[in-house]
Structure 1
Amino acid sequence: MSNSCGAWYEGDPVLENYHENEWCKVSHDDRFQFEMLCLEGASTGLSWKTIMHKRAAYRAAFNDFSIEACAAMTDEELEKLLSDASLIRNRSKIFSVRRNARAVRSIQEEFGSFDAYLWSFTEGRVIDGYWADTSQIPVESDVSREISSDMKKRGMSYVGPVITYSFMQAIGMVNDHLINCPYR
């Protein structure tokens, strides 16, 4: 049990900056949302700390997560990234960036933006748990399961309900800062 919202990042300035300036902060920017979707997917089976320390390399490798640029990446470009030690060299995760970018483009065509699609699941409202202790914060929810299922139907990968919940936190659809956190 911990009533410290920052217990998971203590001593790491990269994670501290993320917690204070991005985590659970509302974003309506499709590019940022796509970046967080890709980074959360890359974190599957790994620590968020590992991914955040590789974030600059991911941005460089994937054209700052431009949805159009990622959707247009060739097999050769993606294969080349598999030899880049600054990334997680998992073929499925690397290729999922292009796959998910193409799915996001289709979503944008259908809904007008990735943002409109995502926030339609909460009717534009932030889900706020008002937690007093970190042990109360869930790892998935009914909404994350619903979004996960829909994204999978649209051809996305690395979007299970737990990763989707973390993604929802990353873009501010969920506010899981503890009630006593100054960054709430």
Structure 2
Amino acid sequence: MNQRCGWCGNDKIYQEYHDQEWGEPLYDDQALFELFILETLQAGLSWITVLKKREAYRAALDNFDAHKIAQYDETKYESLMQHPDLIKNKLKMRAIIHNAQCYLKLKAEYGSFSDWLWQYVDHQPILNSFVELSDVPTKTEISDQLSQDLKKLGFKFVGSVTIYAFMQAMGMVNDHVSHCFKYKVDIK
């Protein structure tokens, strides 16, 4: 049996996410936008709560089509707030629409969300060497800077802790602990 990072416990959804997605370098703008929105929803919640609702969000948010989300009106917002499988947080729901607009502006100005993000680590994943889960930081100087820059661009729910979790999830930072079978995976 493979040893995993302790945070994924015994939950099958969590284990599959850990084994197949978390820490894998992600470069596709569409996939990054989806992950970004999901990470911003996590603020104040556990990741498993958001992860279990991912399919409901895909269906409700037009498969995370930023162009469509950026155009959502008050009627669509209200229908999302009534959706039985989504998190009922008014500020987060408004932030989804607002962040889609900011995302499109960023892409228009810089060309690629992926390239803009990856520049913070010179386009190479950072491979850390932590032994214990308790050694893994919740934020870093890079996440502080990225958080500040996202806020300057108008993004919401982008505190440094949220952004560091996003960096880990998208593989910008590989924080698999040293006894995890995913530690030192081939980074492409």
Establish whether TM, by shorter chain, passes 0.5: yes
**In the alignment, which residue of structure 1 is the partner of 2:26?**
27
Query: So what's the TM-score if we normalise by structure 1?
Result: 0.94
Secondary structure at the aligned position of 1:110 is classed as helix
- What is residue 106 of structure 1 aligned with on the other side? 105
> Which amino acid in structure 1 is aligned with residue 142 of structure 2?
V
Q: Which residue in the other structure is 1:180 paired with?
A: 179
Equivalent residues of 1:67, 1:101 under 8 A apart: yes
Please give the root-mean-square deviation of Cα atoms over the aligned residues, in Å.
1.1
State the partner residue of 2:134.
135
Counterpart of 1:116 in structure 2 is 115
Q: Which residue of 2 aligns with 1:65?
A: 64
Instruction: In structure 2, give the amino acid aligned to 1:15.
Output: Y
Q: 1:45 corresponds to which letter in structure 2?
A: G
Q: How much does 1:6 deviate? A: 2.9
Determine the C-alpha separation between the residues in 2 that align with 1:108 and 1:11.
39
Partner Cα distance (1:115, 1:145) in 2 = 18
CA distance in 2, matches of 1:132, 1:5: 12
SS in 2 for 1:82: helix
AA partner of residue 21 (structure 2)? E
Identity %: 35
**Structure 1 stretch displaced more, 108-117 or 71-80:** 71-80
**Counterpart Cα distance in 2 of 1:140 and 1:75:** 35
CA contact under 8 A between 1:25 and 1:170: conserved in structure 2?
A: yes
8 A contact 2:22–2:168 mirrored in 1: yes
Q: How many Å separate the matches in 2 of 1:8 and 1:133? A: 11
Rounded Cα–Cα distance in structure 1 between residues aligned with 2:19 and 2:138: 20
Contact 2:36 2:166 in 1 (8 A): yes
CA contact (8 A) 1:5 1:134 kept: no
Q: Could you tell me which runs of 5 or more consecutive residues in structure 1 were left unpaired when the two chains were aligned.
A: none
Alignment of 1:66-81 (within 5 A): 66-81=65-80
* Comparing 155-164 and 58-67, the one that deviates more: 58-67
Q: Name the aligned partner's letter for residue 54 of structure 1.
A: K
User: What's the counterpart of residue 168 of structure 2?
Assistant: 169
1:144 touches 1:162 (CA, 8 Å); kept in 2?
yes
Contact 2:5–2:177 under 8 Å retained in 1: no
Rounded to whole Å, the distance in 2 between the matches of 1:5 and 1:102 is 37
**Aligned amino acid, residue 129 of structure 1:** N
Distance 1:146 1:125 in 2: 17
Task: Give the number of equivalent residue pairs.
Answer: 181
Structure 2 unaligned runs (5+)?
A: 184-188
Task: Indicate the residue corresponding to 2:158 in structure 1.
Answer: 159
In structure 1, how many angstroms separate the alpha carbons of the residues matched to 2:58 and 2:89?
17
Offset, 1:11:
1.8
Q: How many angstroms does 1:109 deviate by?
A: 1.3
Using the TM superposition, give the Cα deviation of residue 108 of structure 1 relative to its aligned residue in structure 2, in angstroms.
Answer: 0.8
Give, in angstroms, the shift of residue 75 of structure 1: 2.0
Tell me the SS of whatever aligns to 1:183.
Answer: coil
1:80: Cα distance to partner? 1.0
